[in-house]
Chains A and B, each alone.
Chain A
Amino acid sequence: MISVPSKEKWQGALYSLVVVLVGWWLVSWLLRLPIIPSPFAVFINIAEVFSTRMEVHVLYSLGRIMGGIMVSILIGVPLGYLMGAFERVNRLLSPLVYFTYPVPKLALLPIVMLLFGLGEASKLIMIVLIVVFQIIVTSRDAVRSIPQEIFRSLRSLGASRLQVFTEIILPASLSEVLTATRLALGTAVSILFFTETFGTEFGMGYFIMDAWLRVDYLDMYGGIVVLSFMGFLLFTVIDLLDSYLSSWR
């Protein structure tokens, strides 16, 4: 992984934000269609409606996405560690993982909804179903890529299994697990949007689709901007966590 100094990173983020806004403004100015409002109108609208109508949807979406990622980590990381550390577990589970990995899980949404209802459970399960595989595979590979010498030198010191876990497996794989989580985040946001268009009246997915049906394009764009910003914010948090915890790289 190339480590970019954080100052350059921020400059890059600012630069791309400016490019997107200028491009957006140009297109809206050239076409002058109600379906493409100017970014300024959209931002002013966000400022007006955020605390009154949007906030609750943001909180719902944020809760679902963090819940989904948490559950995926809680399931995926231990499973990946077990598969990485014990060849027998790996032989048992990896065909299962490889077989189910390419199944388009979004297509399972009807089944999940039939089994778990239209409520929060199905939304969480959909996110977990899609994200957990990435995390399992990454955690497993992270453990398997630790050189044998490192285990040997610790075992010759008489380390217990717990010490091998806390001194080697956890720190060695942490960065990769965080990277996988960051990648999974992008996927999770799209699934979130999709699942929130069904069976709920809360969440950014609902907010955007509802604005669309009401032909309220300012609200619709505002929803998209806020959802993107939410994704970016979560992304940045994981990024900062990673660079703080993996300064040894």
Chain B
Amino acid sequence: MIAVKDLSVKYKSNRGEVQALNKVNINMAAGDLYTVIGPSGCGKSTLLYVLSGILTDFEGSVLINGKPVNPRTQRIGLILQNYGLLPWKTVYQNVTLGLKIKYGHTGLNEDGRHLLQQLGIDDLLNRYPKELSGGQQQRVAIARAFMLKPDLLLMDEPFSALDAITREEIQELFLETWQKNPVNTVFVTHSVDEALYLGRKVAVFSPSPGRILEVADNPCFHKDKLQFKDEYHEMSMHLRSLLSKG
């Protein structure tokens, strides 16, 4: 489980000190999937950088399974908008990068090979990222993150650079993969629809400095033909009014 208590982050910019996050509290049960939504610049990405151990200068406490965040000892998967693949490594080398860094080997077991098949990239293993489409690159990034069986999976607007049709395919694929490997996931998005389709719970952030306005249980999670359902319209209206009030 993930416990974030009174998390505040300040950073220095040209205009002096900026407060990015203000006393954020999150308690995530094991194997839960949160989407985080908020206006741009509200500190959503900052939250992910704290959770991933990249940003270490913060107040408050962040515990993963009862221990402070440390990417050396914990397994953290991070999926970014522009995929974060290494262009000089093949798909196979990219997918096994986490294994190489954590355990010093690049061999895949049965589960690993199955994951590649499931994501439909098992016949692309010798290609370089530049030879792949955006959707394929994102599948590779997803494979790399799940390959580690992470304690915490963090996703920073991962699908926003994809075209609408590819995005829907990948969202579906991501949910299937996640349901077979249910890991703690924090998924940052700026799209209300995406937040509703992918989040078991939806956390709404205020404009900067980011606070959590509400963590809503989401009845729309992984519902087919979401746009035609009443609960979708209710939730959508609710989230939008929260976001516009700030």
Residues in A lying within 8 Å of B, measured CB to CB: 147, 149-150, 152-160, 163, 167-168, 171-172, 246-249
Contact = CB atoms under 8 A, between A and B. Distances in A.
Q: Give the interface SS of chain B, mostly helix, strand, loop or mixed.
A: loop
A147 B84 CA distance: 9
Residue from B88, B97, B98 having most chain A Cβ neighbours under 10 A = B88
Given A172-B88, A248-B128, A156 B101 contact: no
25 contacts: A149-B82, A149-B84, A152-B52, A152-B80, A154-B86, A154-B97, A154-B101, A156-B53, A156-B76, A156-B154, A157-B78, A157-B97, A157-B148, A158-B53, A158-B72, A158-B73, A158-B102, A167-B97, A168-B86, A171-B86, A172-B88, A246-B88, A248-B87, A248-B130, A249-B87
Interface in B159-214: none
B132 interface: no
B143 to A, nearest CB: 13
Chain B, interface size: which category? 20 to 34
Contacts of A155: 52-54, 71
Given A156-B52, A157-B76, 4 more contacts: A154-B86, A157-B102, A160-B72, A172-B88
Interface of B: 49, 52-54, 70-74, 76-78, 80, 82, 84, 86-89, 97-98, 101-102, 128, 130, 148, 154
Nearest to A152: B54
A158 B76 contact: yes
B11 to A, nearest CB: 14
Nearest to A147: B82
B86 A167 contact: yes
Residue from A158, A159, A163, A248 having most chain B Cβ neighbours under 10 A = A158
- Among all A-B residue pairs, the 9 with the closest Cβ atoms: A153-B84, A158-B71, A156-B78, A156-B52, A158-B72, A171-B88, A248-B88, A248-B128, A149-B84
Contact of A152 (B70, B78, B102, B148): B78
Nearest to A159: B101
A168 B77 CA distance: 18
Nearest to B79: A153
B130 to A, nearest CB: 7
A158 B80 contact: no
